[in-house]
């Protein structure tokens, strides 16, 4: 069936779904295939759960006239998203980067929604499935749509740009993330700047942190640029004041005190301020939005349990974000500090080197209460006072023996390590 006809059916639906456990009445169900599942086998369940139409690519899954057969369900989802994007014609802001994407996206959304009707990517639905689902959730009465884009291999951002066709874009930073797919930090830079390349080719606008020389280099010959940073030559001047532990910044003599920890969050906050300023959100509204935003989902949360302060940053980790979190802990004035650090995934052949570098930095800056968990950290060379545990199970006896008082605890690791489980022991 032609995409135009599928779009007419989509318009008659309440929403779209790819999981029969999360259906809404009168939705359009896309029977996606994965390594361990085939959505075509759940069509009957989808109709029973309230689906109005089911998009399938297996003839045996055609149960009635409301089953729409296509050659490839995933490609149809992506094509439908682009078709919808072009029909509603709202301005779209896209963002990617190695660290801070979701926090930055939430901050931008918080700032813009003070003045406009906006909608953003839910959670971290930022891949080849998540981006189309995000676009299909947008309506033509929005003033702006915000789309987060993630990638773990080259050409993925370019592919997502062709689906979303953004009008504005930014990169939070370049860091040592997904080295297994990108090969090196240069590979990361090349892949992330696929967003800038798309915007440049289509004469769209880029937001640039002028404090980042690598980003400036990437857009040296590009005209449609709005800059922000601590330098007065920027379109929006935003200076960092302190992070003890929360980040405070100054924008045009207006002090903004966030609820985000770590100087590494300066860039994420500055992006949201710069975009709000660009789109004429008044300064007091920007200030209120930033100061009201509270991190959640294990991302740089500060949680207090009795006399213990916990920095819970266990949603994900790579060498860049891990080092930034450790440096932030070091500069805090608290005396009694504990570090629980889990393996960093998707580093490929660089895993041993990157984990050893983290251990070297740790042991040069902390003398006690260091706990490193996971197979990669377990293989590193370390001094006797560093507790090396190959698994979370091996960590449990240490946690049971801890008696924390007036302590500051950092918990940081890749998602697969699920180090938020430490919270049950504190």
CA-nearest of 99, 319, 323 to 209 is: 99
Q: Give the pLDDT of residue 27.
A: 97
The dihedrals phi and psi of 6, each to the nearest 5 degrees, come to: -65, -35
Q: Give the pLDDT of residue 47.
A: 97
Identify any residues that bridge with 239 across adjacent strands, giving them in sequence order. Answer: 250
Q: Give the pLDDT of residue 120.
A: 97
Burial of residue 338, with CB atoms counted within 10 A of its CB: 0-12 exposed, 13-18 middle, 19 or more buried:
buried
Cα separation, 353 vs 116, whole angstroms:
47
Q: Give the pLDDT of residue 286.
A: 98
Which is it for strands 225-229 and 53-56: parallel, antiparallel or unpaired? unpaired
Q: Which two three-digit tokens encode residue 265?
A: 């969050």
3-class DSSP state for residue 128?
A: coil
How many CA atoms are closer than 13 Å to the CA of 30, on its beta-carbon side? Answer: 25
CA triplet 237, 149, 104: central angle to 5 degrees?
Answer: 35
Q: What tens-digit pLDDT sequence spans the chain (426 residues)?
A: 799 999 999 999 999 999 999 999 999 999 999 888 999 999 999 999 999 999 999 999 999 999 999 999 999 999 999 999 999 999 999 999 998 999 999 999 999 999 999 999 998 899 999 999 999 999 999 999 999 999 989 999 999 999 999 999 999 999 888 888 888 989 999 999 999 999 999 999 999 999 999 888 888 788 899 999 998 889 999 999 998 789 999 998 899 999 999 888 999 999 999 999 999 999 999 999 999 999 887 788 889 999 999 999 998 899 999 999 999 999 888 789 999 999 999 999 999 999 999 999 999 999 999 999 999 999 999 998 899 999 999 999 999 999 899 999 999 999 999 999 999 999
Q: Give the pLDDT of residue 179.
A: 84
Q: Give the pLDDT of residue 297.
A: 75
Sign of the alpha-carbon torsion through 185, 146, 411, 364: positive
CA triplet 283, 254, 303: central angle to 5 degrees?
Answer: 95
- Domains of the chain in start order, with CATH, are 3-70 (3.40.1390.10), 89-292 (3.40.1190.10), 301-425 (3.90.190.20)
Between the alpha carbon of residue 118 and those of residues 48, 144, 202, 284, the distances in Å are 33, 5, 23, 19
Cα separation, 398 vs 420, whole angstroms:
16
């Amino acid at each position: 069936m032609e995409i135009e006809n599928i779009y007419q059916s989509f318009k008659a639906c309440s929403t779209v779904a790819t999981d029969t456990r999360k259906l809404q009445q009168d939705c359009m169900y896309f029977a996606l295939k994965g390594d361990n599942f085939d959505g075509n086998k759940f069509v009957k369940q989808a109709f029973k759960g309230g689906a109005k139409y089911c998009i399938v690519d297996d003839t045996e899954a055609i149960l009635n006239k409301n089953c729409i057969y296509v050659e490839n369900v995933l490609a149809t989802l992506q094509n439908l998203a682009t078709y919808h994007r072009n029909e509603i014609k709202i301005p779209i802001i896209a963002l990617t980067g190695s660290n801070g994407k979701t926090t930055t996206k939430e901050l931008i959304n918080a700032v813009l929604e003070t003045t406009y009707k906006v909608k953003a990517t839910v959670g971290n639905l930022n891949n080849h499935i998540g981006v189309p689902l995000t676009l299909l959730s947008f309506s033509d009465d929005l003033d702006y749509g915000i789309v987060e884009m993630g990638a773990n291999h080259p050409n993925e951002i370019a592919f997502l740009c062709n689906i979303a066709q953004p009008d504005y874009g930014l990169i939070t930073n370049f860091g040592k993330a997904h080295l297994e797919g990108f090969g090196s930090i240069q590979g990361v830079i090349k892949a992330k700047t696929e967003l800038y390349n798309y915007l440049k080719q289509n004469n769209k606008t880029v937001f640039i942190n002028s404090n980042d020389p690598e980003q400036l280099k990437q857009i040296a010959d590009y005209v449609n640029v709005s800059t922000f940073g601590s330098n007065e030559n920027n379109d929006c001047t935003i200076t960092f004041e302190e992070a003890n532990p929360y980040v405070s910044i100054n924008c045009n003599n207006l002090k903004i005190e966030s609820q985000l920890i770590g100087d590494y969050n300066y860039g994420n906050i500055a992006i949201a301020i710069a975009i709000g300023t660009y789109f004429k959100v008044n300064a007091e509204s920007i200030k209120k939005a930033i100061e009201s935003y509270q991190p959640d989902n294990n991302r740089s949360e500060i949680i207090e349990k009795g006399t213990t302060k916990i920095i819970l940053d266990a949603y994900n980790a790579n060498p860049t974000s891990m080092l930034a979190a450790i440096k932030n802990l070091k500069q805090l004035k608290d005396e009694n500090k504990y570090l629980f650090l889990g393996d960093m995934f998707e580093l490929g052949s660089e895993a041993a080197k990157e984990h050893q570098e983290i251990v070297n930095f740790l042991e040069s800056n902390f003398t006690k209460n260091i706990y490193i968990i996971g197979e990669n950290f377990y293989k590193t060379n370390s001094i006797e006072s560093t507790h090396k545990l190959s698994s979370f199970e091996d960590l449990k006896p240490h946690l049971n023996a801890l008696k924390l008082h007036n302590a500051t605890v950092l918990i940081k690791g890749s998602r697969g390590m699920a180090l938020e489980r430490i919270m049950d022991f504190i």
